[in-house]
Chain A
Amino acid sequence: MNKISLIISREYLSRVRKKSFLITTLVVPLVIIVFYAAIIAISMQGSTEKQHIAVLDEANLFNGKIDSSNKTLAFTFIHHETEKTFINKYEAEGYDGFLYIPGDSTSLNSGKFSLHSTASASMTTMSDIEDIINKTMRNKQLLANGIDPAAFDKMAENASLENTVDTKEGSKKNFAGLAYGVSFACGMLIYMMMIIYGTQVMRGVTEEKTNRIAEVMISSVKPFQLMMGKIIGIGAVGLTQFIIWMMLMFLMQMAIPLVFPDLMQQLNDTAMQNNEGMSMAATAMQGLSSLPLMKIMLLFLFYFLGGYLTYASIFAAVGSVVSEDQQEAQQLIFPILMPIILGFVMMTKAINDPNSSMAVFGSIFPLTSPIVMMGRITYDVPVWQLLLSMSLLVFCFIFFTWVTGKIYRTGILMYGKKPSWKEMIKWAVRKG
């Protein structure tokens, strides 16, 4: 087995076998999922228990019946009572609340009604009841003006704008919202992975140096092999984590309907109730299939690897020149983080305006391209720009590894004072 693959497998296995890897890989997405589940659960709490509402309809607004498909609300009409007399009785009669609709036309037209309840009513209960009243009142008025409410529903507010992008290859529908999300998620992931795994490389190198194992290793392997072994090993850990997360997401999607059938049912119900929800889901599905997913995946992988490898070699060089003092490392990291952060800022702009000169520049300049290009991939990037950007990135990676390899080689065996930038540049340009 060749030496570099031995080093890669050690770096990889020693990290993957650690408890902390298992924890971050499994627990982090779990925490996120639990968090979202909690939000959903809390927001739906109000409608989980059936609410019995008494209706005291003095104006006879509902004409004795409420047409509601809402399963969480049950209405009962009360007669021969007043607001004042019933307010003391509704709880004893088994109602959770009562809705009072006054008989005089002034208060009816002002649209103010009161809902009395034993406990404060939830937002959903309130808005459901509001919807019911509004709809009933609107229908009444429509009928008064001789309009059929059903016909009115059909023509109301159905406009939605659809953007078709016309290129030489033909016309394509554009799903801006979804493209935005996918772009942002990809850029964010690359940004995070570069920083997280880059600093891991740096810490690993510093650890080897301060443990003094570096000298033992360098008497067995070339410094360059040691550096590349570490960079590739840690990169593989990143990819593993990423793949596990992807699989978890996929599994979760399959498992949620099985574990929480009620949840899905409710979600579907709400979607059914208002056509908008349904059409949004449909649009998302349609949009997802219209995006060049395979191309996005491949580009994501390429830019993730290119960006990671470029920055990891710089991080490795920084790790090799600092000693125990973490403060020193912080000072040196800062100038490296600058272009990464700049790339992130440019990416958020590029998503909104993918063909601006800044977005084009950022996605070609190799220090920012891994992140900025993610902001553009869901749109059509001209092939020459893509090729230029990719080849610049590869060139940049080779150049940086060559330069930082030299700094690393000298730095890893130097103890004591931190070298100055001038000295490091001297190491880098020295031949041999």
Chain B
Amino acid sequence: MNIIELHSLKKHFTSQKAVDDISFHIRQGSIFGLLGPNGAGKTTLLRMITGIFFPDSGHIQFNGRAFHPQDDIINIGYMPEERGLYKKMKIGEQVIYLARLKGMNKADAIEAAKKWFVKLEMESWWNKKVEDLSKGMSQKLQFVTTVMHNPKLIILDEPFSGLDPVNANMIKEEIFNLSKSGATIIFSTHRMEQVEEICNQIVLVNKGKKVLDGEVNQIKQDFKENIYKLGAVTLAEQLMTPLFEVVKHQPDNLLLKLQPNVTTNELLQYFIQQKVSIQSFNEVLPSLNDIFIKLVEEDHSATRKFQA
């Protein structure tokens, strides 16, 4: 079942087409990566999903029904890229205020807040003010305010920026936990290694259009280029063969691109005949980073030109 479906969404501003006919589905319980270079239209897309903007055309299905922002908003938690909290307000009060605006009652909000504060080691912050916190600390607080009301859909825009590795791991664990307990997570970033590690489904947008959509593993298969890594000491003259092209030759390993129609067994047979002692052999799938750069560059320029 899909938690959210976007059908040909369009949002045009006076100077640019921020979102130009984008459709995709997000499975319930998945961790979904929304990728794209700066200015691709990610934030506009997220603002439509959170009901901040109305699309110019197209429609959104939420939880099997037409998206109705005023009612569905309580099932969404949104952490925007530009973090924001009331600086002068006490942290405990603030967390409860934001949770109540999401429809929780006071007692539930207090209970949930206490639970999260213990979990993320923030108990001592309750009576402090946001202005006393460091950037990383307020990031953690922002995360808590986003997920506290148990939303079905959690939207995190660059959730790890400004966090040290310990806290980043802590948040990452919580994201996995939330996903396991049934929440769907939309994760917007341009840090590809995190996407690879966390997401199981991604969409890549560029210049307001969808460029790529699918399961992370499937995409890697789709974009693979028959590149293999052989862990063995090889001599230069042994590499003169029509079976493959050398990508990179190092003393104890070799990166090669297999010619089409050549099987891996044929390749291994060749090396065995050459009396090469093989330590390891495996396929190298392209990283999302490579795919991202390749697709975006194919689209001519990574950043959108301003149409004044």
Q: Spell out A's residues near B (CB within 8 Å).
A: 1, 3, 6-7, 10, 14, 208, 211-222, 413, 432
Q: Is the Cβ of A214 less than 8 Å from the Cβ of B84?
A: yes
Q: Is the Cβ of B84 less than 8 Å from the Cβ of A216?
A: yes
Set B47, B51, B73, B89: member contacting A14, Cβ < 8 A? B89
Taken together as a complex, chains A and B put the C-alpha atoms of A218 and B48 apart, in Å, by 12
Q: Is the Cβ of A14 less than 8 Å from the Cβ of B88?
A: yes
- B50: chain A residues at CB < 8 Å are 219
Taken together as a complex, chains A and B put the C-alpha atoms of A19 and B196 apart, in Å, by 51
- B89: chain A residues at CB < 8 Å are 10, 14
Q: Is the Cβ of A219 less than 8 Å from the Cβ of B83?
A: no
Chain B interface size, under 10 / 10 to 19 / 20 to 34 / 35 or more = 20 to 34
Interface check B234, CB cutoff 8 A: no
A216-B78, A220-B73 given as contacts; is B87 within 8 A of A211 (CB)?
yes
Q: Is the Cβ of A218 less than 8 Å from the Cβ of B84?
A: no
Most chain B beta-carbon neighbours within 10 Å: one of A1, A7, A215, A413: A215
Nearest CB of chain A from residue B306's CB, rounded to whole Å: 12
Q: Which residue of B lies closest to A209 (CB)?
A: B84
Nearest CB of chain B from residue A300's CB, rounded to whole Å: 32
Nearest CB of chain B from residue A103's CB, rounded to whole Å: 80
Query: Could you tell me which residues of chain B, from 83 to 110, have a CB within 8 Å of some CB in chain A?
Result: 83-89, 97-98, 100-102
Nearest CB of chain B from residue A151's CB, rounded to whole Å: 75
Set A6, A14, A432: member contacting B101, Cβ < 8 A? A6
Q: Is the Cβ of B76 less than 8 Å from the Cβ of A219?
A: yes
- A220: chain B residues at CB < 8 Å are 73, 98, 101-102
Of the A-B pairs whose beta carbons lie under 8 Å apart in the complex, a sample of 28, sorted by A's number, is: A1-B100, A3-B101, A6-B97, A6-B100, A10-B89, A10-B97, A208-B84, A211-B84, A211-B85, A211-B87, A212-B82, A212-B83, A213-B86, A215-B80, A215-B82, A216-B79, A216-B98, A216-B145, A219-B50, A219-B51, A219-B52, A219-B78, A219-B80, A220-B73, A220-B102, A221-B101, A413-B52, A432-B54
Q: Is the Cβ of B84 less than 8 Å from the Cβ of A219?
A: no
A-side interface mostly: helix
A212-B82, A213-B86 given as contacts; is B100 within 8 A of A219 (CB)?
no
Q: Spell out B's residues near A (CB within 8 Å).
A: 47, 50-52, 54, 70, 73, 76, 78-80, 82-89, 97-98, 100-102, 142, 145
Q: Is the Cβ of A218 less than 8 Å from the Cβ of B52?
A: yes
Q: Which residue of A lies closest to B54 (CB)?
A: A432
Nearest CB of chain A from residue B85's CB, rounded to whole Å: 6
- B142: chain A residues at CB < 8 Å are 216
Nearest CB of chain B from residue A34's CB, rounded to whole Å: 31
Taken together as a complex, chains A and B put the C-alpha atoms of A222 and B88 apart, in Å, by 23
Nearest CB of chain A from residue B84's CB, rounded to whole Å: 3
Q: Which residue of A lies closest to B106 (CB)?
A: A1
Nearest CB of chain B from residue A341's CB, rounded to whole Å: 32
- B86: chain A residues at CB < 8 Å are 14, 211, 213
Most chain B beta-carbon neighbours within 10 Å: one of A7, A10, A213, A217: A213
Q: Is the Cβ of A212 less than 8 Å from the Cβ of B101?
A: no
Nearest CB of chain A from residue B147's CB, rounded to whole Å: 13
Most chain B beta-carbon neighbours within 10 Å: one of A218, A219, A413, A432: A219
Taken together as a complex, chains A and B put the C-alpha atoms of A356 and B259 apart, in Å, by 98
Q: Is the Cβ of A215 less than 8 Å from the Cβ of B98?
A: no
**Given A3-B101, A216-B145, A220-B102, 17 other A-B residues pairs in contact with their CB atoms under 8 A:** A6-B101, A7-B101, A14-B88, A208-B84, A211-B84, A211-B87, A214-B84, A215-B52, A215-B80, A216-B78, A216-B98, A216-B142, A219-B52, A219-B73, A219-B78, A221-B101, A432-B54
- A216: chain B residues at CB < 8 Å are 78-80, 84-85, 98, 142, 145
Nearest CB of chain B from residue A245's CB, rounded to whole Å: 25
- A217: chain B residues at CB < 8 Å are 101
